[in-house]
Structure 1
Amino acid sequence: MSSLLLARNGRRAISVIGGGRRGTDALSGVHPVTRRFIIDMSYSAHFMDFKGSSIPSTMKKLVVTKLSPNFREAVSMQTVTVPTPGDADLLVRNRYVGINASDINFSAGRYDPSLKPPFDAGFEGIGEVVGLGLSASSRYTIGDIVAYFGSGAFAEYTVVPAKESVPVPAVKPEFLTLLVSGATAYIALKRLGDLAEGETVLVTAAAGGTGQFAVQFAKQAGCHVIGTCSSNEKAGFLKSLGCNRPINYTSEDLAKTLKKEYPKGIDVVYESVGGSVLELAVNRLANKGRLIVIGFISGYQTASGIPPFTGGTLPVKLLQKSASIRGFFLPHFLSDYREALGSMMQMFAKGKLVCEVDCGDLAQGGRFVGLESVFRAVDYMYAGKNLGKVVVEVAPPSVSNSKL
């Protein structure tokens, strides 16, 4: 069999990745002594960087084994064979993975009711390319650093389609903040916010993963920005981002403050909490106000996933103010994704965008290191303790000759 054919049929030809075990040879007439364990071609290191990356034969990953909004109950750690990339795929050794509020919506089966356990967890990661298929090698090579937004990120290694990978200059967790959290704020405000200079914008959970970006993009549009948060430390962080009026709702009455200080109402609301906060936001909308619902985290841990909301008079309230409520779900706006990511990466490179990362240095149990830390990181975020985007370091820097 030619080496080219072996490359094209890599999933079948490679039975062991970087291991010393000898599996049953699938090629009749080939003497076991002469068999190679990666890909039978002289330039195999270009496709599977065995020596450079020390790819093991097995890895750990998090798998949803039971549908539940309780992440610890729904997800389990499993040891599986390291996957082999297909023709147009990359094998990424994950260095960092991002934690999202919707991780428990996914584990509860709310996004795709037809998806039944077991299925892989995690939405975003960044790491080093340690293997790739023949077609993918036209754009990438071993050692390249990529970030990605897709399923199965909570793993030590993840196979990612090359076309869905984003090349980044370094393994920095800050880049992870842009993939979901940053992109949500950027696209939602651009497509649904219709921001105009001088308008007033309210961002709820403003010091969180996506809130921090909504504050900055609204400021860049010349708006007056109000941001809700749960501590004085977070209020100070919001001020550093340019937020005009941070409101610590644990020490101030949010409803009274908004009514007193903004009697004309709020032009745009970027809302991710839901429940009573959503009701308050509706009541404080200005004429022609726009309220963007990007989530309702206050209800995610409940059986229904939806916090209580009294909407009986909603049509009247919207009609009286010519106001609107608009929902935003990132997968529906993927045509905007590349432009958003490119623009944000340029802003970050020029020092015009803050990408705050929380790796759990102040969390109980310490910094989030290792795949098992994902469970603690999810709990930490739902306890409202994070400042910025919650990120887990899956693996320390490589000590090999790779680019990490």
Structure 2
Amino acid sequence: MSCLRAGLSLLHPTRSLLPRRSIVDMSYSQHFVDFQGSSIPSTMKKLLVTQLSPDFTKAVTLLPNVAVPVPGDEDLLIRNRYVGVNASDINFSSGRYDAMVKPPFDIGFEGIGEVVGLGLSASKNFAIGQPVAYVHTGSFADYTVVPAKTAFPVPSVTPEFLTFLISGTTAYISLKEFGNLSKGKKVLVTAAAGGTGQFAVQLAKQANCYVIGTCSSEEKAGFLKSIGCDLPINYKAENIASIIKEKFPEGVDVVYESVGGEMFDMSVKCLATKGHLIIIGFISGYQTPLGILPVKEAALPAVLLKKSASIHGFFLPQYMSEYKEAIMSLVKLHRTGKLVCEVDNGELSPEGKFTGLESVFRAVDYLYTGKNIGKIVVELPHLVNSKL
């Protein structure tokens, strides 16, 4: 399969990607057989939110022996091989996205794996054994049922593709909508070496901007240089505001902000006339009871008015009409060698690689230490290994 065809298949699922070896008729059977002929187990492990809390360990319970779900007529049963960890997982476990939600409920936003069961209608576009990626609640499980319309065929089951699903599309769509990027503009990316920051840096460079990236270590600064960041700033060793004021006395044109608190206050002060600040998160406050740190920039309206500057919030679920185009563009950039997709699987964490659902707790903690470089991914090994 050519890379181009692989990229196009994300938007136009087709049965021709893999030979159709077997289809489970859900109207007559609830038995699943994977593409290697091994029976799917009747039970599995999954994570479940059992109480609302910003403390992921308190909020979430590992269930070791629950029934493998049954896909409906238009659904796929996916054996998860890799799942992505996001800072907003603890916002979800806190119930902050829906005030009416009550535990217990599933958790995990994104995954990649193989189709091991499907309904008759879903079989029109998908086949047993086909590698797919998806964004759907409940990925923190050995097996997840997802609507076929929300799944994307992918060339192979590799963790790098997970970096596009939420992190990459968030950067792509938000910068396209609110960044007004063009040659020579100065762009500040906070948490630049993280899962979504890495894409903001590279996309801004694709637009011929000058990119400043904040990070917390010299190792991260080195990574940022390797992906084209013009000025990495290690905030633990340097004063960001002082450096920006000295080098760019007129301020920066665009800020891609995900930290919140003091970093947000500093970013507002660094905005140039007619500058844009894009808020895609405020991770520094997520673990607090209210989920946000107070903004000390009390004169915010006056500051924005004086500079004719603007602040835009961005929440990916409200921009799904732009999602397919974003995925297509990211795949094309990656295929042509213009986009790095850095994955952090925890190999350098104190207890080693993130393997198995048990390690999701450790991966979330690791994310909040701020030590990760790139997207944090957890591998879910299975007794039957894919030969795709």
TM-score by length of 1: 0.88
1:33 corresponds in structure 2 to none
Maintained 8 Å contact 2:35/2:128:
no
Query: 1:396, CA displacement in angstroms?
Result: 4.8
**CA deviation after TM superposition for structure 1 residue 378, in Å:** 0.3
Distance, in Å, in 2 between the alignment partners of 1:137 and 1:105 is 35
Aligned to 1:72: 57
Name the SS for the 2:73 alignment partner.
Answer: coil
Residues 309-361 of structure 1 deviation map (CA, whole Å, 9 limit, x = unaligned): 12421111001000000000000000000110111112112221100000000
- Residue in 2 aligned with 1:225? 211
SS at match of 1:385: coil
Residues 38-49 of structure 1 aligned to structure 2 (within 5 Å): 48-49=33-34
Contact 1:144 1:403 in 2 (8 A): no
Alignment of 1:322-333 (within 5 A): 322-333=308-319
1:335 matched to 2:321? The reply is: yes
Tell me, in whole angstroms, the C-alpha distance in 1 between the residues paired with 2:252 and 2:79: 45
- Gaps spanning 5+ residues in structure 1: where? 1-5, 19-47
Measured against aligned partners, the alpha-carbon deviations of 1:131-157 in whole angstroms (never above 9, x if no partner) come to: 000000000000100000110000000
**Aligned-pair Cα RMSD in Å:** 1.4
Counterpart position of 1:56? 41
Percent identical residues: 64
Match of 1:317 in 2: 303
Letter in 2 for 1:7: D
Within 1, Cα distance between the matches of 2:141 and 2:183?
43
Cα 1:266/1:50, change in 2 over 3 Å: closer
Pairing 1:124-163 to 2, within 5 Å after superposition:
124-163=110-149
Shift of 1:8: 5.3
How many Å separate the matches in 2 of 1:256 and 1:85? 56
Residue in structure 2 matched with residue 169 of structure 1 by the alignment: 155
Structure 2 contact 26–118 (Cα < 8 Å) conserved: no
Identify the match of residue 363 of structure 2 among 377, 386, 391. Answer: 377
CA distance in 2: counterparts of 1:312 and 1:300, whole angstroms:
21
CA shift, 1:58, in A, is: 0.1
| Helix, strand or coil at the partner of 1:52 | coil
TM-score, normalised via structure 2 length: 0.91
Instruction: Report the CA distance between 1:113 and its aligned residue.
Output: 1.1
SS in 1 for 2:37: helix
CA distance in 1 between partners of 2:37 and 2:285 (Å): 46
Q: Deviations over 1:197-254 (max 9, x none)?
A: 1100000000000000000000000100000000000000000010000000011011
Structure with higher Rg: it is 1
Unaligned runs of 5+ in 2: 1-23
Question: Matched residues in 2 for 1:68 and 1:89: separation?
Answer: 31
- How far apart, in 2, do the equivalents of 1:136 and 1:347 lie? 30
Structure 1 residues 283 and 233: CA distance shift in structure 2, 3 A: same
Distance (Å, rounded) in 1 between the aligned partners of 2:138 and 2:234: 36
Q: Tell me how far 1:192 sits from its aligned partner.
A: 1.1
* Alignment pair present for 1:7 and 2:22: no
| Alignment-mate amino acid for residue 41 of structure 2 | P
What is the rounded CA distance, in whole Å, between the counterparts of 2:172 and 2:314 in structure 1? 11
- 1:115 Cα offset (Å): 1.2
* Equivalent in the alignment of 2:91: 105
- Secondary structure (helix, strand or coil) at the match of 1:159 reads strand
Instruction: Give the whole-Å Cα distance in 2 for the aligned partners of 1:144 and 1:367.
Output: 26
**1:84 maps to what in 2?**
70
2:294 maps to 1:308: yes
In structure 2, the residue corresponding to 1:198 is in which secondary structure?
A: coil
Q: Aligned equivalents of 1:165 and 1:8: distance in 2?
A: 19
Shift of 1:94: 0.3
| Cα displacement (A) at 1:49 | 2.9
